Structure 1
Amino acid sequence: MDRITRMLDLLRARERTTTGELAEQLGASERTVRRDLGQMSERGVEVAVTPGRHGGVRLVRDSSLPALRFTDEEALALALALALGAAAGDSRLAAAVAGARTRLSRVLSDKYGAALASLADVVAAQQISLLGDDPVADAQLLALALATARRHHVQIDYRGPTGTASRPLDPYGVVQMAGHWYVTGFCGLRRAVRTFRIDRITRVHETDLRIVVPPDFDAQATVAAGIRGSGTATLRCEVLFLAAAEDVRALAPAHRMEILPAPAGTPAPAVVGVIRAEPRHLRAVALMLLGADLPLEIIVPDALRQRLSAVARDAAAMAGKRGTSASGPSPASGPLLLTDLA
């Protein structure tokens, strides 16, 4: 292996180094290292060299891989597979996955490199893993991820309640939530934004048609709203939390609870949490509120206020609070503050 190839391997393995460190690793002088760096452009390699005390050497673009050659699309597919694969969810492999994705991103053109970086940020924020409840076909998932990154229109075959139908779709985002994978975007059949479970998609055909994603589009929020609205819950539970939104969000994921601004005039910090539930689930909602350790006020329904009172009485009895009235707080006495139950 010649010296320049060895130097290239060192640069691939590090975000930044110095000519002195390279010289030490290669057993050469810094002058020789600087000369070799100048020759790297002949091998399709772009290197940034910043002089000075806080400077260094950084690999900017590497159009080759040792013993392997990839097209832009092949490298993007490999990088996305790493980003979306189950290995990315294993903390023991996180560093290796990140390193491999970084190296692959340097092979890509500016267009695909930017697309990968954007999608990788989304993946990192969601801590995505393929471990879910759906038997999702890897081919469909990767095809939709690629089309989303490349901003390409797709045709999908979707298996719905009445059978399988073809739908034109502009994919705006791929999201994992509540144990399922979803793609959300503009559906040409319904002429509106729609969300689809990927395990129900049987075919994906990517076209060359470019799409434009609305600049303020939030794929996570859109999917969460779709999940909240897809059930048959008959009760709308509204709770005023006298706490910051980030503290309230920690109680339940976005697909379980919607967070809205508090009514005008409510002292800050305060938000309203909205949960849709069946009557049989009110006890679970009450238990969540009782364990929230946040000051709160139930707005509606009365049934939730009554259920929380009953749960509080049970908790007081188990804790041996003999001073608590057997009847507990009266549901008719007004909004129930969790702090009143201490």
Structure 2
Amino acid sequence: MNRTDRLLAILLELQRQRNVRACDLADLFETSQRTIYRDMQALSEAGVPVVAVPGKGYALVDGYFLPPVAFSADEAASLLLGSRYVAKQFDEEYSRLAMTASAKIEAVLPESVRKQTDRLCAGIALFESQPDLRPDERETEEKIKQLRRSILEEKRIAFTYSARYRQLARDEDVNTQREVDPYGLVHTNGAWYLVGWCHLRGDRRHFRLERIQSLTRLSQSFVRPDDFSLQQERKEPPIEVQLLFGAHLEAWVKEERSFFTVLEERREEGFYVKLRVRHEAEVLPWLLRWGGGVRVLAPEELRQRVLAEAQAIISANTPI
């Protein structure tokens, strides 16, 4: 962190807390107390009304640096919780930026609003599923860093991709070499996806990061379409999947619902669920976990695939 950034960060820290000790600032910014003393002198010379309170540390004169934006406690809590989620779920760089954003938000809150916000945030906890990153999660983090740079600089990438739906369909070409113009990243249901133009398929595609291997950045540049949006609808019509679960499974299906779910209804004959998928095999692993508790109403091709998979399971587990 350069000195200018540190001075601004110190100012924000003084605004966020009533009194701050030089030793705490030195620990926070990983520098010496002598450097902090010099920074405080620089702030004073720049016209910032910093006062030293014996035994308590540094503080700003009341009324200085009034916030240009007024947040309600609920608004501030929403922003802070969002920043904390990003800090826990995203890569190291975005975690650092999220914590910096949190500090800036807290810095502009009046004391009364800050206390209400603290109470609201104290009632909600965000826990990490794994305190330490698994090897595959570390790989995903590295991929995100590479992809973010390629997206920003609009550089084409190349990688080997394993399409799981092809594996389930027992196709031979499971692994394919791709060249892609990366448009954006999407995080959903605990997984990261790359959205971009696939030159092999000649169309826009979604790639799950765990299935991307040997990622490299190419020299070719591209221009992302002006009308591109991560929220836009796909061009090809999705496949509609209709399922009927036993009524006793309703609560469990809702708790572990598929990412592709678009409709759920409680009916006399059971619990009805409608999905929209790109490929039938995408939903196959989720279907198989329910065993005989689910019946495929449509499409017929998926029903036949479930039957074939069930027969394969029986064959694989039949004693020789």
TM-score interval for Structure 1 and Structure 2 normalised by the shorter chain: 0.3 to 0.5
TM-score, normalised to structure 1, is 0.38
Higher relative contact order by CA 8 Å / sep ≥ 6: 1 or 2?
Answer: 2
TM-score, normalised to structure 2, is 0.40
